[in-house]
Amino acid sequence: GLTGLIAPAVNGFILALLATSGTAAIAAYGVASRVEGLVFVILMGLATGMGPVLGQNWGAGQYERVHKTLKKAFGFVAVWSVIVAVILGIGATQIAGIFSDNQDVIMITAAYFMIVPFTYVLGNLSNGWSSAFHALGLPIHGLGVVIVKNIILTIPLAWLGATYYGYAGIFAALAAVNVVTGIGCHVWGRRVTHHRAAANKTP
């Protein structure tokens, strides 16, 4: 429940920060968020389908299957994230223009698409590990990922970015959070799963 509540609450905080840059910034963030929701539906489906596979094999002690499933899943996440980032980056202005004819909204939406998407490959790793931890019976770990990403990092960095650089600073902060949490969660997740698997194999 907490995991599901934190992200929307932080999103509301980001919208409040964007409000200081005007209504165009809020509209642009709304466009970007909806585009992200559309292109990442496939990753949400992957996370949902991956859960039972991970949970069943983890419970059965088939740790190699767990590691292979995670490797293949994260490999797909990486490829899909790169494809999306390239498309959004190259077609930033054109894609933004589909949703609005307001030049300020288009400009700010395009700025988002040229800053944040190129960190999707890492940002989606942290999201993937959060889902994986829940599937492996480690909900506190999954909650920890969400708290670190959204509360400990996103809130202060977004506030700093908004204070000094406006909407561009907020977008840069979101990108930075993706990089830090993506790398950190992947290293941590691999250590946790390998360590626990080794411990469970010990007679």
Both ends of the chain: CA-CA distance in Å?
A: 36
Mean pLDDT of the 164-176 span? 97
What's the pLDDT band for 200 if we cut at 50, 70, 90? Answer: confident
Mean pLDDT of the 164-174 span? 96
Mean pLDDT (the chain) is 93
CA distance 31 to 27: 6
Examine the pLDDT at 79 and tell me if it is beyond 80.
yes
Total Cβ atoms within 10 A of residue 72: 12
For the stretch 30-69, pLDDT in tens is 999 999 999 999 999 998 898 999 999 999 999 999 999 9
Percentage of residues in the chain having pLDDT higher than 90:
85
pTM of the complete model:
0.93
What's the pLDDT band for 203 if we cut at 50, 70, 90? Answer: low
CA distance 185 to 132: 11
What's the pLDDT band for 202 if we cut at 50, 70, 90? Answer: low
Report which of 153, 157, 138, 132 is spatially closest to residue 67, judged by C-alpha positions. 132
Mean pLDDT of the 67-77 span? 94
pLDDT of 163: 95
